[in-house]
Structure 1
Amino acid sequence: MLLVYLLCCLSALHATAQQSPFRSDSVLFFNRDSSIRFGATLTVPSQRKNFPAVVLVSGTGKQNRDGLMAGHAMFRVLADSLVRIGFAVLRTDDRGVGATTGVYETATTADFAADALDAADWLRKQPGVGAVGLIGHSEGGAAAIIAAATGKIDFVVTLAGLATRGIDALKLQNQAIINAAPVSDYDKRRHQTITTLMFDTAYRYAYTNLMESKLRTTYNAWKHSDDSAYAKDMPGKYDHMRFFIDSYILQASSAWYQFHLRYDPVPYLERIRVPFLAVNGDKDIMVPWRENLDLVARTLRENGNKVVTVKVLQGLNHLFLRCHSCTNEELSKLPGDFDTTAWEVIKQWLLEYVSAQ
């Protein structure tokens, strides 16, 4: 009886394995000069001999291969969904995370674009892989745009992808965050004034040795004027507002920040001729949909790209979750990992423009 039971169990396990629509393997590969080893997960549809494939490209902040942000594993869910419609998926740990070596803090968006190209090159060499595209979230969308401009990528999907000039993105993001903050309109105007002054100064003096001194001069002039105005407007009241100048100078002096300030997507978008889908949520305060989608659509179409789709989705935030207050503080409290409405848009577009290739 025991032998029969064991045989039945083994048979059931074999049947389950046979029915699995995909296989998932941990893999290691190196970039082109072997300076960085990437740890990744490759998910492949097991019931197809040939299939398109995608590399998932993460946004700002050190993330693991699951794309874990505020408790939401966006990339793990996307990989599972993509493989079930016949796509292979490669998702890596970011530099300095998990099994990936390198230093994240010293890298720029251009470096992340190079990482995406290296991942795509490796993926293209795997058995059965045909067309290879990129799906980039947030800053990963900018990296995908930079990478696709090389002509080495077959299709692009950006999810809340950064597609405005970096300086404009900072101002738009800052304005949205300030508007959503629980402070008075008076203080909102003060925050808006100093941050705009600092962004403009950092932009002007990026990549020069004058950055720190010019930022301090700008801050000191504003502080003197603001203190005088506050004393006149709010006599006798304690001023709670702070702008942390030393922290900002440290951030603004980094290679990543200076590249971001001077980033302009237009020269890259002008060279992209492959199918392109850009999706944003209308409640996103990190990458506002209108300015980003409008620039993508206009630039791509004016420069001869024939397959361009842009889509704004109602009620979704930066992580493509349904939100209520739609602030960053709410992110960890929201259920789910990726909204099904957003996935349906991506799925239908891929099935129409990529699977048929």
Structure 2
Amino acid sequence: MQIALVAWLKRTPAIRRTFLRRSVLVAIAVAACLGASIGPAGARADDDPIQEEVSFQSHGLTLRGTVFIPRAAASGARQPGIVLVHGAGPGPRSEYVSEAEAFARAGIVTLAFDKRTDGYSFMERDFSLLADDALAGVETLRVRADVDPAQVGFWGFSEGAWVAPLAAAKSPDVAFLVTIGASGLDPLRQQTWYLGNRLRHRGVSGAFRDAVAQPGALLMSDTGLFPEAGYDPVPVLERLRLPVLAVWGEHDIQAAPAESAAVFQRALDRAGNQHATIRFVPGAGHNGHATTDGFDKVGGLVVGGKALGALGPGYADVMTSWVQSVAAGHAPRSSVEPVPAQEDTSQARSSGAWYEAAAVRYATLALLLIGFAGYPLTAWVGRRAESGRNPVRWPARWLSVTGFVAVVGTVIYLLCIFATGGKGATAFVAGRTLPWLLLQICTCAALLAIAATAITWWRTRAQVSGAVRVRLALLILAGALFIPWALYWRLLLP
């Protein structure tokens, strides 16, 4: 068509050709402007919500947010309201625009707000404080002229699915609760299960994943660096009698969905809750957004370089239709969908065995460090006072070095895995990460050094002086203690 138009213009007299060329350019420009105003890039659908910036106070802090208002609310009719409660991390409201718009298009006034930064960090958080922030958001909606104050509830995602139930249990003003990606486990156990999934996804298998799940998690708990590590959601769930919709993505690799759904069902049954609905979204991940395996994100918004994925198929409909039923006074009776298979079961970080008691573990660690580090240090301090030949010197030095590196390296590496969320931990050979492989090699070298030191000392015991004999005895004692320690930390397992 374009070629024919050019050919026709060439056959036209010069003046007419100039006039026509200008007319065509004007027509193209007008069409482009019209296309920009009605096309996808600039379109504004009739059901797009109205956005209103708001601020409110909680514990002396000003929190800022956006209220997404249904177009129908402009007529003066009161609508149900919902407050979106953030997942873990900084929690800017921009990450929840897709949910906010979906609720608003369904006739639900929605508040998305920026999470507090004061009193919230990687190593500091208080679920009760966050719950008070969420309740302040509820009050912000309840006083609006376009909101029915008796029909305001929560939507809580991930960490917010611990916070929102706590807030709902604190106030009778909360009408309903929706959760997505909720964990029925304590935060540290849930994070450990997620780490195991990430490691498996990167080809890591065998003993290292077990070391992360149990001795590593127990160590992390002891440090006190993991905030709200032992928070138990069950007592709060057992107090909820308001309508609850608990939703998980089919491919949720963060919240142990099968286990968590069972915890929710049992706890809400004990609460006597007659309106607890448990649902699963096909083709959706932890946040209810589209994914192929729980690790990728398909479509959707990109916020701060972070892909969110498009809302999972049916995810918005499940939530909005349920809230509409509750607001209309027809809260659905309790029901549970069939639970999808969960590949791995979470592990408790302690089996309750005597050797897992904190006193035993830390006494063992102290003895190992003293035994391995003490041999070279005392040798250096007393090198001038020693006399005579020490035939055990080299195997003993080798034992002190390899044992010390294995112990300290294992502790530091597992703490780093938790601190970084397992980033960079990929299989190097035979399902092992490179640092773990090196630690296992170091452990095997320490075992050889234990045997060499003990045999050499026995054969040459007549040549060893009293002071050296004491130092060697402490070193070999540490070596003997190192064997069960290495087994407990899975360093001697495949």
Same-fold call, TM cutoff 0.5: yes
Structure 2 unaligned blocks of 5 or more: 1-36, 38-42, 331-494
Which of 135, 144, 167 aligns to 1:126? It is: 144
Q: Which residue of 2 aligns with 1:60?
A: 88
Offset from partner CA, 1:227-281 (integer Å, 9 cap, x none)? xxxxxxxxxxxxxxxxxxxxxxxxx42xxx231x111011101111100000001
Q: Does 1:44 align with 2:69?
A: yes
Q: Which residue of 2 aligns with 1:150?
A: 170
Q: Does 1:339 align with 2:312?
A: yes
Q: Which residue of 1 aligns with 2:126?
A: 108
Q: Which residue of 2 aligns with 1:30?
A: 57
Letter of the structure 1 residue corresponding to residue 268 of structure 2: L
Offset from partner CA, 1:295-328 (integer Å, 9 cap, x none)? 1111102221110000122222113233234326
Q: Which residue of 1 aligns with 2:155?
A: 135
CA contact (8 A) 1:282 1:288 kept: no
RMSD of aligned alpha carbons: 2.9
CA contact (8 A) 1:55 1:90 kept: yes
Instruction: Give the aligned length.
Output: 277
Letter of the structure 1 residue corresponding to residue 202 of structure 2: A
Whole-angstrom distance in 1 between the partners of 2:186 and 2:103:
31
Whole-angstrom distance in 2 between the partners of 1:320 and 1:47:
27
**1:149 alignment partner, SS class:** helix
CA contact (8 A) 1:156 1:277 kept: yes
Deviation at 1:202, TM superposition (A): 3.8
Structure 1 unaligned blocks of 5 or more: 1-11, 68-74, 97-101, 206-210, 212-251
Whole-angstrom distance in 2 between the partners of 1:114 and 1:62:
17
Q: Which residue of 1 aligns with 2:258?
A: 290
Is the deviation greater in 268-277 or in 174-183? 174-183
Letter of the structure 2 residue corresponding to residue 36 of structure 1: L
Offset from partner CA, 1:157-191 (integer Å, 9 cap, x none)? 001022222243133222222222223x34xx224
Quote the sequence identity (%): 24
Deviation at 1:294, TM superposition (A): 1.1
Q: Does 1:272 align with 2:240?
A: yes
- Mark the CA change 1:289 to 1:355 in structure 2 (over 3 Å): closer, same or farther: same
Letter of the structure 1 residue corresponding to residue 52 of structure 2: D
Whole-angstrom distance in 2 between the partners of 1:151 and 1:282:
32
Is the deviation greater in 120-129 or in 272-281? 120-129
Q: Which residue of 1 aligns with 2:476?
A: none
Whole-angstrom distance in 1 between the partners of 2:68 and 2:212:
47
- Mark the CA change 1:146 to 1:43 in structure 2 (over 3 Å): closer, same or farther: same
**1:89 alignment partner, SS class:** strand
Whole-angstrom distance in 2 between the partners of 1:316 and 1:36:
35
Deviation at 1:329, TM superposition (A): 8.8
Q: Which residue of 2 aligns with 1:70?
A: none
Letter of the structure 2 residue corresponding to residue 55 of structure 1: V
Deviation at 1:330, TM superposition (A): 8.6
Whole-angstrom distance in 1 between the partners of 2:86 and 2:268:
23
CA contact (8 A) 1:21 1:47 kept: no
- Larger RCO, structures 1/2 (Cα 8 Å, 6+ apart): 1
Whole-angstrom distance in 2 between the partners of 1:92 and 1:125:
17
CA contact (8 A) 1:22 1:47 kept: no
**2:314 alignment partner, SS class:** helix
Whole-angstrom distance in 2 between the partners of 1:354 and 1:293:
24
Alignment of 1:90-101 (within 5 A): 90-96=111-117
- Mark the CA change 1:174 to 1:348 in structure 2 (over 3 Å): closer, same or farther: same
Which of 322, 341, 347 aligns to 2:290? It is: 322
Whole-angstrom distance in 2 between the partners of 1:162 and 1:110:
17
Whole-angstrom distance in 2 between the partners of 1:146 and 1:62:
20
- Name the structure where strand makes up a greater proportion of residues: 1
**2:72 alignment partner, SS class:** coil
Letter of the structure 2 residue corresponding to residue 258 of structure 1: P
- Mark the CA change 1:193 to 1:22 in structure 2 (over 3 Å): closer, same or farther: closer
- Mark the CA change 1:322 to 1:306 in structure 2 (over 3 Å): closer, same or farther: same
CA contact (8 A) 2:50 2:71 kept: yes
CA contact (8 A) 1:321 1:338 kept: yes
- Mark the CA change 1:304 to 1:94 in structure 2 (over 3 Å): closer, same or farther: same
**1:29 alignment partner, SS class:** strand
Q: Which residue of 1 aligns with 2:344?
A: none
Letter of the structure 2 residue corresponding to residue 24 of structure 1: Q
User: Which TM-score applies when normalising by structure 2?
Assistant: 0.52
CA contact (8 A) 1:151 1:272 kept: no
Deviation at 1:63, TM superposition (A): 2.2
CA contact (8 A) 1:317 1:323 kept: yes
- Mark the CA change 1:194 to 1:176 in structure 2 (over 3 Å): closer, same or farther: closer
Deviation at 1:85, TM superposition (A): 1.6
CA contact (8 A) 1:323 1:334 kept: no
Which of 268, 275, 278 aligns to 1:310? It is: 278
Deviation at 1:21, TM superposition (A): 6.4
